Amino acid sequence: MKVIMLGAPGAGKGTQAVRVASAYQIPHISTGDIFRANIKGGTELGKKAKEYMDAGNLVPDELVCDLVVDRIKKEDCKNGYVLDGFPRTIPQAEALDKAVEAIGEKVDFAVNIDVPDEAIITRMSGRRACLTCGATYHIEYNPPKKADICDTCGSALVLREDDKPETVKTRLNVYHEQTQPLIDYYTGKNILVTVDGTQNMDKVFSDIKALLGE
């Protein structure tokens, strides 16, 4: 099963992508996590991506597309994958289609997690992220067992640089301008499904599972 997670920053794409990956036994590929790992590792890609990410802007398509197209060709993707944070622009969606069609396949579902902007700003200030393993928590809705420590790998949790309220507003504007057009794009391909992302995390996941099928 090949699944794309769509939605505004903080809509819950990462939270649900982890669950989808586990339920359907497919890899979770998050472009945001890939960039953050590169920033942490001090790579050239990380250095380039950081300036865009810290400002709340998108990393240029040419730095993203090849990276994802190479990743989905790997052996562990032969039964599918869940893409979290990609595509985010029409050119990225076209690059993905081209790569998938080249091997005679297609994306099965684009899952749109719908959350209004007002709810996003509140959510982001409470998010805590693990920059080591990519796990995500919320101080109120999904707290770690020990404050500020990742349950999975024991690293310190942080408030992401781009989760500060002024940067979140820029990210929301960028989302509406550049990523929301993908809703029409995937509606046109008859693979868009939408869930109400304001419900609790378990309910959002059961709605997604009902749409994707067992």
Does position 35 bind ligand AP5 by CB under 6 A?
yes
**DSSP state letter for 158:** B
| Count of positions on this chain that bind ligand AP5 (CB under 6 A) | 35
Amino acid symbol at 7:
G
| Residue number with CB closer to ligand AP5 (83 or 104) | 83
131 touches 147 (CB < 8 A):
no
Does position 111 bind ligand AP5 by CB under 6 A?
no
SS (H, E, C) 35-75: HHHHHHCCCHHHHHHHHHHHHCCCCCHHHHHHHHHHHCCCH
Judge whether 73 counts as a catalytic residue. no
Judge whether 123 counts as a catalytic residue. no
Active-site residue identified among 2, 13, 19, 36: 13
Does position 88 bind ligand AP5 by CB under 6 A?
yes
Judge whether 71 counts as a catalytic residue. no
Q: How many other β-carbons are positioned within 10 Å of the β-carbon of residue 27?
A: 15
Angle between helices 61-71 and 44-55 (to 10 degrees): 120
Judge whether 88 counts as a catalytic residue. yes
Does position 134 bind ligand AP5 by CB under 6 A?
no
Does position 157 bind ligand AP5 by CB under 6 A?
no
Judge whether 164 counts as a catalytic residue. no
Residue 58 tokens read as 């998108």
Q: How many other β-carbons are positioned within 10 Å of the β-carbon of residue 25?
A: 9
**151/103 Cα distance (integer angstroms):** 39
Does position 15 bind ligand AP5 by CB under 6 A?
yes
Does position 11 bind ligand AP5 by CB under 6 A?
yes
Residues near ligand AP5 (CB under 6 A): 7, 9-15, 31-32, 35, 52-53, 57-59, 64, 85-86, 88, 92, 123, 126-127, 136-138, 141-142, 162, 171, 197, 200-201, 204
Active site residues: 13, 88, 127, 160, 171
